[in-house]
Chain A
Amino acid sequence: MRVRILQIVTVIAALGVWEVVARMGWVDPLFVPAPSAVAPALLKIGRGALAGLADTLGKTAVAYVLSVVLGVSAGVAVGSIRLLREVLSPYVIAFYGIPKILVLPWIVLLLGYGTTPAVFYGVLHGFFPIMVLVMGAVRDVDRTLVAVARSLGATTWQLYWKVLLPAIVPSVLGGMRLGVVFCLLGVLVVEMFAGVRGMGHVLGSYANGFQAPELFAATALVSAASIAIVLALDHLNDRLSRWRG
């Protein structure tokens, strides 16, 4: 209870300080508008920004589904076959670690502007964290469980379906929570760098046009959307883990 109150007080205090600073002219309103100027801007940009947001979230959804499907299957395949894992893991870690922004210009050269590079780049961001997590989880599955299942005559199919998959569910869920933010990040970066539609493009054009209130309103909208998505996934995660026991 006290925690909630403190949180609300913090938000109100931050908005208050911000409003005062902007009103007193300590910062240039051209660059930092007061919250009271951002709220009407939110209404003003409404339709266009929502269309952009829908566009961005659509691309993110496609990229996300692809990342999860590809990441989990690659993680299970590479993680469960020892030779494959030992040969590939340094490469996987390297690709996970390097800043993907460096290949973005090349992706745009190859795939052009629009939806395809955004989805591709989103997958590039979402795929590796999911694969790395799943790979590690498969590697760390209790050897005893595998040995027992084998000695009781489980086929390879049964081994994957009945032992490995249930054991890695928490890591898959963890990867899915991590992956969605990365996918959204990738899509937004492409939209800013080479977008014609979507929220990244909207943000970029407001910044270029010095429309600070609209820019802040649009930023708040995207942030709220992504926090909502992550909280929803967390909630789902909670429910599922309670269901698993």
Chain B
Amino acid sequence: MTVVGLRLGLLALFLAIWEIAGRKVNPLLGVPPSAVLPSLRDLLLLRSYPDLPASLWLTIREIGTAYALAVAAGLGCGFVLGMHRLVGRAWGPMLAALYAVPAVVWYPSLMLFFGLDAASKIAFGFLLGFFPIALAVLAGIRQVNPQLVVVARAYGAGTATVFRRVMLPAMLFTLVGGLRTGLVLCVIGVVVGEILGSKAGMGALINHAYGLLRTGDYVALVLVTLVLVVGSDVLASLLERRARRWTE
């Protein structure tokens, strides 16, 4: 109880400091919370940015496409590397080394190749989401107890049965965690891509507001984008919980 009270108190203190500081500084730079609410209302009533629904929908479609591709490629690549020992031992470290490169260095090349439209954002979201999924599959397969597979085979289980009854339950935990991280990174990739250069989507709106020093609108747009980000993670965490219940 005290903990919750202190948490709320801290939040109130933070908003109060923001309010006071926001009123003191140049209104182009600081936006107190009391000024964000009118901007947010204007935004949601489509007064400041009438194309908000279209932009939001475009960003969601980009995320969806990027994630679908990342899941397909990540699962495929992870299983190939996990099933073939030699290939896995050779390519696994190479994959991990590529993962150690800050992904944003690839973005200019992607933008050059795929252009300013949705394709480059999808490609970048895919790139960010692919690695955690592939690496999670790889780690998950290593967790499967090989003796269980041998025993199942000895009792006459086929490949499909071994996979469904033995491997999947053993690796599901890691796999689902990777799928969730992949979704978070996909969302971040698409948003980063849009902010670094785009003509449409939430990132383009944010850049527009920032470029015109419409700071109130900028904060409101950021809040709407945050809802999208947090919402996707909540969805993923619900799926994660379901998967966990299934294994237990």
Contacts and interface: CB of A to CB of B under 8 A. Distances in A.
Interface of A: 2-4, 6-7, 10, 31-32, 83, 86-88, 90-91, 97-99, 101-106, 108-110, 181-182, 184-185, 188-189, 192-193, 199-200, 203-204, 206-207, 210, 212, 215-216, 219, 222-223, 226-227, 230-231
A24 B229 CA distance: 42
15 contacts: A3-B90, A6-B90, A32-B113, A87-B3, A91-B10, A102-B191, A102-B206, A102-B225, A105-B218, A182-B102, A204-B108, A219-B105, A227-B100, A230-B100, A231-B100
A101 B188 contact: yes
Given A105-B210, A226-B101, A219 B109 contact: yes
B174 interface: no
B226 A98 contact: yes
Interface in B75-108: 86-87, 89-91, 93-94, 97-98, 100-108
- Chain A interface, >50% SS class: helix
Contacts of A193: 195-196
Contacts of B94: 7, 10
B42 interface: no
Interface string B180-207: 0000100110011001100000000011
A35 to B, nearest CB: 14
Contacts of B3: 83, 86-87
B222 A109 contact: no
Interface string B205-222: 011001001010011001
A181 B100 contact: yes
A188 B222 contact: no
Contacts of A231: 97, 100
Contact of B109 (A97, A101, A216): A216
